[in-house]
Structure 1
Amino acid sequence: MKKLLLLVAVLCMQSNVMELNAQTVKSAQKKNKVTEKKVKGDTPKMAPTVSLNNQLDSIAYTIGMAQTQGLKNYLVNNLKMDTAYINEFIKGLNEGVKKLDKKQEALQAGVQIGQQIKKQMIVELNKEIFGADSTKTISVDHFMAGFIAGTLEKDQKMTMEQAQEYARTNMEALKNKSTEQTYGANKEAGAKFLAENKLKEGVVTTASGLQYKVITKGSGEIPTAESKVKVHYKGTTIDGAEFDSSYKRNEPATFEAGQVIKGWTEALTMMPVGSKWILYIPQELGYGSREAGPIKPFSTLIFEVELLSIEK
């Protein structure tokens, strides 16, 4: 929108430049005719015939043209359109700007939302429920039956509240089952690692299952969950792969101690300022079944954490 407003402003300020003289118009029209001859004979003429012989017409044309920047990428990447059928798109475009009656408008709205269901909603739901398994899909017929029943507000098999609650709890269960099938080995590897690690010298295991080892014992104040803390840290998986480091960025992180993963909150609320600990965080005190960037579901994590200060 900012680009559009800027374009209009420039055009208005430079009206004398935008006025096209008759010679320029004739030249442009002649060029267009030459170009049209190169197009296949069965290609339909889609664009209205116009002459840019006054300022307002020139403004309308240039704004229309400017607004198509990035359109093809959107059609291909977002709407999944095959550009081999670009002429059909233009036909639809021309139909869309015509004045429609109420019946036509309703049909057009249904087609648009139907396309969103097919190309976006169903695709995202499948990813949400089945993860990386592209061989599985929910039933489109059942989805549409529920969607239409909800829209018409009749012949519903349950109340809206019941539908929302069932979808929420059962989607989560399906998602967890699918995730565990794919990443269950991470859970097993983490449990094995922690069982062996707790026997090592200096490692303390808390009631929650968190393990830590004190590298430097601080003597400062101990944060609460509400405290804003400044820390340096490095995070790795149990196989030693580093996924984050404030040391490498040379910039400590500042956040509220209670607004991070459970393992961090528990450790920070035991650490005096000036302490440096190694934390061994079970998956249930970390990200659990969630995937967080390079951290895969059910991953046991290792953090080197240095509590620098409590911010007042």
Structure 2
Amino acid sequence: MRKIILVALTLMVGATFNSVKAQQLNTRIDSLSYFVGMAQTQGLLDYLKNRQHMDIDCMDDFILGLREAFASSSDHHKAAYFMGTQIGQQIANQMLPGINKEIYGNDSTKSISTDLFLSGFISGTNGRGGLVTVKEANEKAQTLMKEVKTEQALLKYGDNKKAGEDFLKTNAKKKDVKTLPCGVQYKVLKEGKGALPTSSQKVKVNYEGRTVDGHVFDSSYQRGQPTEFRCNQVIKGWTEALTHMPLGSEWEVYIPYELAYGENGAGNDIKPFSMLIFKIELLEIIDK
């Protein structure tokens, strides 16, 4: 079926642009010109359908645009116009959907203002009428993007944030729980007597991680093998705990979301704003 469609498309393109018959290929260069032109269309149909989301039923319009652009290739004004239409399509079909997905996730009912986006894009492109410089716009966009993403995440995961905060508040009142200056809480399960690792040292640990509802999302115990890493190559809460943890210790560590995976979460198991609980055994400081 795909071959039939491709053959039909090839015939349509040929008829619309310049129909060529075999007897018109009088010289080797004639044949080379025709066949090399056709060869360049390999993968074009898939590209137009799947990457550019073009309606293949509008192929005649595509060919008209192709002819006009080809005939006007030396006209700088026309070239600029066609480039504008190309960029406009990329904005509408790729750039804006990508930005909206970054902010709103899979909620297709929400979008930033397309009119204001286009106004800002045009001002940045032609250098006229901009409210700020492009550099300033980039800085403001990053700040606002983070704020809006956080607001959207809170709407969806606010209960998860509150559950973690409530847990830490209650947990801090327990006699056997201590709190580091950074906010990480811990309970000593086994007192170690060895050295404290520095943030740059490599350590060997056994651990189990779970969320506030008790779901185990990672465990070296289940894998049957300890893990090695440098203390500064993990989440901040781990770094803080390990550098206060004597060799040979076993702790239960309670990490606020800000020192874990923040408002973004990680994968499917760790939601945004997740406070995390770890059982950690410090087995070895590898580079002393």
| TM class, shorter-length | 0.7 to 0.9
**Residues 278, 61 of structure 1: CA spacing in aligned structure 2 closer, same or farther, 3 A cutoff?**
farther
CA distance in 2, matches of 1:62, 1:251: 57
Alignment-derived partner of residue 214 in structure 1: 188
> Is contact 1:131-1:179 (8 Å) kept?
no
User: Higher mean Cα deviation, 291-300 or 229-238?
Assistant: 229-238
The normalised TM-score by structure 2 is 0.77
The aligned residue for residue 261 of structure 1 is 235
One-letter code aligned to 1:271: M
Equivalent residue of 1:213, what SS?
A: strand
1:310 to 2:276 alignment: no
Structure 1 runs of 4+ with >4 Å offset: 46-54, 56-65, 74-77, 83-99
| 1:106 to 2:67 alignment | no
Please give the per-residue CA displacement for 1:109-158, whole angstroms capped at 9, x wherever unaligned.
Answer: 22221122112221122223334443221111111111111111122222
CA shift in 2, pair 1:86/1:288, >3 Å: same
1:287 deviation in Å? 1.6
Instruction: Say how many residue pairs are matched.
Output: 274
User: Does the Cα contact within 8 Å between 2:209 and 2:217 map onto a contact in 1?
Assistant: yes
What is the DSSP-based 3-state SS (H/G/I as helix, E as strand, rest coil) of the residue aligned with 2:137?
helix
Q: Which amino acid aligns with 1:220?
A: G
Q: Does residue 1:179 correspond to 2:153, yes or no?
A: yes
Match of 1:301 in 2: 276
Asked if the contact 2:72/2:79 (under 8 Å) is kept, the reply is no
One-letter code aligned to 1:195: K
Q: What is the one-letter code of the residue matched to 1:159?
A: T
Q: For 2:251, give the aligned amino acid.
A: W
Q: CA deviation at 1:168?
A: 1.9
- For residues 1-312 of structure 1, what are the structure 2 equivalents within 5 Å? 45=15, 60=36, 64=40, 67-68=42-43, 72=46, 75-85=48-58, 100-101=73-74, 102-200=76-174, 202-294=176-268, 295-312=270-287
Deviation at 1:274, TM superposition (A): 2.9
Equivalence for 1:26: none
Letter in 1 for 2:81: L
Secondary structure of 1:234's match?
Answer: strand
TM normalised by structure 1 equals 0.72
Report the secondary structure of 1:271's partner residue: coil
C-alpha root-mean-square deviation of aligned residues, in Å? 3.7
Alpha-carbon distance between aligned partners in 1 of 2:72 and 2:138, rounded to the nearest angstrom:
38
- Where 2:88 maps in the other structure, the secondary structure is helix
Residues 113 and 61 of structure 1: CA distance in aligned 2, closer, same or farther (over 3 Å) = closer
CA distance in 1, matches of 2:188, 2:58: 65
Distance change in 2, residues 1:254/1:103 (3 Å): farther
Check 1:277–1:90 CA distance in 2 against 1; reply closer, same or farther (3 A cut).
farther
Change (3 A) 1:129 1:216: same
Q: Secondary structure at the match of 1:272?
A: coil
1:234 is displaced (CA, Å) by 2.3
Give the gaps of 5 or more residues in structure 2. Answer: none
Helix, strand or coil for the counterpart of 1:173? Answer: helix
Aligned residues of 2:252 and 2:277 also touching (Cα < 8 A): yes
Q: What is the DSSP-based 3-state SS (H/G/I as helix, E as strand, rest coil) of the residue aligned with 1:304?
A: strand
The residue type equivalent to 2:273 in the other structure is F
Counterparts of 1:96 and 1:244 in 2: how far apart (Å)?
Answer: 56
With over 3 angstroms needed to count, the CA separation of the structure-2 counterparts of 1:288 and 1:269, relative to structure 1, is same
SS state at 1:208 partner = coil
Partners of 1:299 and 1:305 lie apart in 2 by 18
Q: 1:151 to 1:215 in 2, by over 3 A?
A: same
User: Which runs of 5 or more structure 1 residues have no equivalent in the other structure?
Assistant: 1-31
Deviations 1:182-217 (A, max 9, x none): 111111111222233334563323233212222333
The residue identity in structure 2 corresponding to 1:129 is I
CA distance in structure 1 between the aligned counterparts of 2:126 and 2:193, rounded to whole angstroms:
66
| Alignment-mate amino acid for residue 92 of structure 2 | K
Q: Please give the alpha-carbon distance, in whole angstroms, between the structure 2 residues aligned to 1:306 and 1:76.
A: 54
CA distance in structure 2 between the partners assigned to 1:115 and 1:311 by the alignment: 55
Distance change in 2, residues 1:100/1:213 (3 Å): same
Q: Assess, with a 3 A threshold, how the Cα gap between structure 1 residues 158 and 216 changes in structure 2: closer, same or farther.
A: same
Alignment deviations for residues 271-302 of structure 1 (CA, whole Å, 9 cap, x no partner):
22333322211112212211311211111111
Q: Is the 8 A contact 1:131 1:178 kept in 2?
A: no
Q: Kindly state the Cα deviation for residue 303 of structure 1 after the two structures are TM-superposed.
A: 1.6
